[in-house]
Structure 1
Amino acid sequence: MFNWIRSARRLALMACTLIGASCAPSSNTAPEPRTEFSIGWSIYAGWMPWPYAEQAGIVKKWADKYGIKIDIVQVNDYVESVNQYTAGKFDGVTVANMDALTIPAAGGKDTSAIIVGDYSNGNDGIVLKNADTLAAIKGRQIYLVELSVSHYLLARALERAGMAMTDVKTVNTSDADIVGAFAAPDVTAAVTWNPQLSVMKGVPGAKMVFSSADIPGEILDLLVVDTATLKANPNLGKALAGIWYETTALMQRQDAQGKAARAAMAKLAGSTPEMFDGQLATTFLYADPKAAVAATSAPALLSTMTRVRDFSFSKGLFGQGAKSADVVGMSFPGNKTLGDADHVTLRFDASYMQMAADGTL
């Protein structure tokens, strides 16, 4: 059950953006240098390095190096963790790329993604009954959590197959009910994520016909930090990068220490080592900072975020007052921007990952 919060992770449905910038802190005072910080996290395979690092003393090691203190705080509900960050209760939070855009950034909170940690590489999928190809989806009712990343995955799959959302009918279903719903004989199509996905693939006659592995790099998991806080306290970014890459290097090892680290992460997530390793198998982890920098600097990220913002706007996730998908500005390495360059609130900042790659942390 370690991945039950992954369901909440997919449910960033305008919790803050519907009320706009009122979710963001309203102080006009510029942040000052500080020594104590807090980072929120929720249970998901790609985010378990953070609580393990705290447990293993890696957080303290890097915080001490820079003369600061970092609290790694678990929040049982993913959306609530992002809302609390947006409201200023955390200095940073673990979040998916779509949700970083539609909650804090669209809500007016200037946010920097300083670690691109992983992407879903099969954790999300479309399952059909009595069909071997995606083409058979046309005309079917599709059960899914609407306005979530599952909805985005469906839109991308239809686009790849030369179809449109009008070629299917979506049926909004909670993550708690989707497995039971799919078991009904008259329900023949669904979009979901693990662990529900693995259960539904085992239903007689069911086959996964499209997954996040078909759109690699589009469903990203990030660590984001308040931009003003980061600017006033660059040592926070350095410490966080050091923590992340030391921990992920350890968990990638196939020796006894690596196995013990993964087992500890599984326990922290309420899982077994076997289940945790299964989730990691469909999670592309950016354990190498050079690879993370390359992915963050690549033109593909700009294309991905264009698709994500266009989908989000089409579903009203930028709020009722948004007149175009350009309303939220985003910046990328190399001085590239997307949307309103005068109002950038989501920044992909590769500088701290680059320091890790260069060995200068």
Structure 2
Amino acid sequence: MITKFGKLIARTSGMALMAGALALASCSPSTQAPTEPKTEFNIGWSIYAGWMPWPYAQQSGIVKKWADKYGIKINIVQVNDYVESVNQYTAGKFDGVTLANMDALTIPAAGGKDTSAIIVGDYSNGNDGILLKGAGGLSAIKGQSVYLVELSVSHYLLARGLEKAGLQPADVKTINTSDADIVGAFSSPDAKAAVAWNPQLSVMKGGAGVKEVFSSAQIPGEILDLLVVDTATLKANPNLGKALAGIWYETVALMKRQDAQGKAARAAMAKLAGSTPEDFDSQLATTFLYDDPKAAVAATSSPTLMQNMKLVRDFSFTKGLFKGAASADAVGMSFPGGKTLGDPAKVTLRFDENFMKLAADGKL
């Protein structure tokens, strides 16, 4: 999406994603020949503030540095459409991809592609919000028509907001609106409620009488952004995981610096995103970036992650995103410490902290 707000593509598992998911979906792991060791890998990415370290790392030589260390080649490949990047990974065209936790579950994992989340990069800490016009609080949303991208993280945020306000999904009517159209739709006098993500969210918040009544900052850690890798490929090529962890933590350490080098790195990332440094920094301000591997390991190993993924899973199941599944347990997930959620015989999404831990322990 290219708008005057910058070329910024958000995380969405809306109806466009469903087409790919439902065509591929089954509720058991895919059967595939054992993956052999190889030396060249392709990682897909799309434009989003929390993923811009990846193309910058390639541009600056950090990717080559770590790939050379492990005797491999890594290609960081841009896909202009986020939906397409996830679908291409699910179809086997990429060895890994950047995506949100909800999409990792409902697309590759629900489609039977065994996937490992090896880097928990950030969580939305205000990048997503619920807006109302002329209202004092979230409870005023009852009876309203809400503009949003249905079956996306915005829809999930709405569900969580309603729950916390003691309301039910039936208390509102959703109007499916693309991210490209939502700013214009909400500007209509008839539109009183909307859910959006940045940069659209920040623009919409500036409208007359508009108030943000709920945001992702109130559900920390529930909307995560990840780097995932095909599990079989990772098992056959552990050096890929090591190199990717090295790339990520060197790059985010640089971008977090407040000196001239850090500022230059962020400005370069903004340019790669088709944005301005100011717009890019404003999005980073509402993105909780896991630049410290120890913090990332702690978050991935915490019982809270499983609790949050259960919320995401249950929402996804109730919206029909697990095609043919009799229960939410049909798609299994595994977590550090041998813990599982759902059917342990059908695990297709694995939160693997091992490579983040190597970074935390200085063993890369």
- Structure 2 length-normalised TM: 0.96
SS in 2 for 1:6: coil
Which residue identity is paired with 2:339? K
Which of 284, 306, 310 is the aligned partner of 2:310? 306
- Partner residue, 1:332: 335
Matches of 2:121 and 2:248, distance apart in 1:
9
Whole-angstrom CA distance in 2 between matches of 1:87 and 1:181: 34
What displacement does 1:16 show? 2.8
2:326 corresponds to which letter in structure 1? K
What does residue 359 of structure 1 align with?
A: 362
Q: How many angstroms apart in 2 are the aligned matches of 1:62 and 1:32?
A: 21
CA 27–346 in structure 1, closer or farther in 2 if over 3 Å, else same: closer
Does the 8 A contact of 1:140 with 1:168 survive in 2?
yes
Range with bigger deviation, 27-36 or 125-134: 27-36
Please, which runs of 5 or more residues in structure 2 have no aligned partner? none
How much does 1:180 deviate? 1.1
Question: Partner residue of 1:118?
Answer: 122
Write the distance in 1 (CA, Å) between the matches of 2:29 and 2:72. 23
Shift of 1:27: 6.9
Residue 53 (structure 2) pairs with residue 82 (structure 1)? no
Residue 181 of structure 1: CA displacement? 1.2
| Structure 1 position 7, deviation (Å) | 6.0
- Structure 1 partner of 2:352: 349
- Offset of residue 10 of structure 1: 6.0
Of the three residues 203, 207, 217, the one matched with 1:199 is 203
Say whether residues 1:224 and 2:228 are aligned partners: yes
3-state secondary structure, aligned to 1:15: helix
Q: CA 1:102/1:8 → structure 2, altered by over 3 Å: closer, same or farther?
A: closer
Q: Distance in 2 between the 1:184 and 1:154 partners?
A: 21
Match of 2:47 in 1: 43
Sequence identity (%): 79
Change (3 A) 1:258 1:202: same
Q: What is the alpha-carbon distance in structure 1 between the residues aligned to residue 239 and residue 167 of structure 2?
A: 48
What's the counterpart of residue 133 of structure 1?
137
Q: How far is 1:8 from its partner?
A: 5.2
Could you tell which deviates more after superposition, 2-11 or 60-69? 2-11
Aligned partners of 2:131 and 2:25: how far apart in 1?
38
Residue 294 of structure 1, aligned match among 294, 298, 303:
298
State the alpha-carbon separation in 2 of the partners of residues 111 and 348 from structure 1: 9
Indicate if the aligned counterparts of 2:310 and 2:341 stay in contact, CA closer than 8 A.
yes
Deviation at 1:12, TM superposition (A): 6.2
The 8 Å contact of residues 59 and 70 in structure 1, kept in 2 or not, is answered as yes
Aligned match for 1:6, one of 10, 24, 29: 10
1:255 aligns with 2:267: no
Deviations 1:232-255 (A, max 9, x none): 000000000000000000001001
Structure 2 SS opposite 1:16:
helix
The superposition leaves residues 53-92 of structure 1 with CA deviations (integer Å, 9 ceiling, x where unpaired) of 0000000000000000000000000010011001110000
TM-score (norm 1): 0.97
Shift of 1:3: 4.9
Cα distance in 1, alignment partners of residues 130 and 25 from structure 2: 35
Aligned amino acid, residue 346 of structure 1: L
Q: Contact (CA 8 Å) 2:29, 2:112: kept in 1 or not?
A: no
Q: Indicate the residue corresponding to 1:32 in structure 2.
A: 36
Cα distance 1:11–1:224, how it changes in 2: closer, same or farther (>3 A)? Answer: farther
- Give 1:269 deviation, angstroms: 0.5
Q: Does 1:274 align with 2:278?
A: yes
**8 Å contact kept, 1:14–1:318:** no
Distance 1:62 1:41 in 2: 18
One-letter code of the match for 1:30?
P
- Please give the root-mean-square deviation of Cα atoms over the aligned residues, in Å: 1.7
> Which moves more between the two structures, 1-10 or 116-125?
1-10
Residue 91 in 1 paired to residue 59 in 2?
no
Report deviation, 1:13: 3.5
Whether 2:186 is the aligned partner of 1:186: answer: no
Q: Corresponding residue for 1:154? A: 158
The runs of 5 or more residues in structure 1 that have no matched partner are: none
